[in-house]
Structure 1
């Protein structure tokens, strides 16, 4: 009977137990630097068990060593080669966990299967309590001052942790929760994402928001540059000349000096008109009456007929 396409596809995605991969030799396993394959440390505070296990599973599949951590091997199969490989796996696990986790799971002469089970049970025990706490945290996340990248990463990490404890969050629920906690500056994006058909996935909604954030940053930089150019244009406007209103101000340098020179000239003119020795001029008239006499029209400007001097 022909196999249905859906079943065939599912079967092809899952590893087949009929032909397991050939495990690597002990000589190869002992030369592997596990930190280059699993660059993170499993830690209680970081809640990164999902990431750690994902990386570790890929290494086990790469070297064909899944059976060492999934099934307890019978004593008859524990050859010298097997024990060397198993000890190398124990060392891999110890090397990629933090000191507090090491203190909790460390045991002398433990197999890779027992150590792997202890780590898993420590992080996946009390699944219901963990699920309640993670669900409450997942639904309360707000973007605030976070960037779109940091905000979506935080939501994705919590969704992965819920999946690890047996309470996966559906894709539409993740998208709606993403829109719920968005900053108010993205309120115009929510109807666009909700109205898309077919609906957005979490990843596609995140990509759309990243493009929107990049567009907002570009507009902000453009407005800032325009404001800077406008400010420079105002500062280059011509200023009022210093010789304007300050001419009449006696406290200014040039205007005050000009006024003082004019007053000194008038005082010198008055002093010369009144005579230097007080002797009345010819004709018997006093010097006091001299300023009242007007010189004839033909005399030069500034000429004083009573003193015989030309006044500058």
Structure 2
């Protein structure tokens, strides 16, 4: 997972977790029943099954993260829910700083920084997508105006 792809990553993984019926490993239940599985009061088979599913979910996390993020959430004995919450805090605590940085970069990107239009256009689109992950969506007309503004005199 790249730094600017957290929102997309969470949406994708929520679909996987629902499909494999392990959503309760990352998002506690909101009904009146207990929100987390109590391994200490479970039968040995139920506890073993829960631990097995938790390890699978953690494995899915770890297989999609950069080395930097992996170091942030890879804690011995942690549950998938703890890793999920840790990532959420990591990305949301930096949201405003990241939005300011990306906004500055988006509005100051110029064609002369790239070898050609084929490199310039995707970079603006990438910055636009990253901004949409941390704040309001950049509309296509704003994207086109910025693309034209960045062309310069030549």
Q: Same fold (TM over 0.5)?
A: yes
Partner deviation per Cα, 1:124-163 (whole Å, 9 max, x = no partner): 2132222111100010111224433322221122222222
**Which residue matches 1:131?**
99
The equivalent position to 2:88 in structure 1, one of 114, 120, 124, is: 120
SS at match of 1:70: coil
Q: Flag structure 1 segments of 5+ consecutive residues without an equivalent.
A: 1-41, 186-312
Q: Is the 8 A contact 2:2 2:65 kept in 1?
A: yes
Alignment of 1:44-63 (within 5 A): 47-49=4-6, 52-53=9-10, 55-63=12-20
User: Against the structure 1 CA distance between its residues 57 and 156, is the aligned structure 2 distance closer, same or farther, given a 3 Å change threshold?
Assistant: farther
Alignment of 1:171-210 (within 5 A): 171-182=140-151, 184=153
SS at match of 1:74: coil
Higher relative contact order (CA 8 A, sep 6+): 2
**Which residue matches 1:83?**
51
Q: Is the 8 A contact 2:24 2:36 kept in 1?
A: no
User: Against the structure 1 CA distance between its residues 92 and 64, is the aligned structure 2 distance closer, same or farther, given a 3 Å change threshold?
Assistant: same
- 2:71 is aligned with 1:71: no
How far off is 1:107 after superposition? 1.7
**Which residue matches 2:70?**
102
Count of residue correspondences: 142
User: Against the structure 1 CA distance between its residues 172 and 115, is the aligned structure 2 distance closer, same or farther, given a 3 Å change threshold?
Assistant: same
Q: Flag structure 2 segments of 5+ consecutive residues without an equivalent.
A: 30-34
TM-score, length of structure 2 as denominator length: 0.72
Alignment of 1:288-307 (within 5 A): none
Q: Is the 8 A contact 2:5 2:133 kept in 1?
A: no
Considering fraction of residues, name the structure with more helix: 2
Larger Rg: 1
Q: Is the 8 A contact 1:124 1:164 kept in 2?
A: no
- 2:121 is aligned with 1:164: no
Q: Considering only aligned residues, what root-mean-square deviation do their CA atoms show, in Å?
A: 2.9
How far off is 1:74 after superposition? 2.2
Counterparts of 1:50 and 1:147 in 2: how far apart (Å)?
30
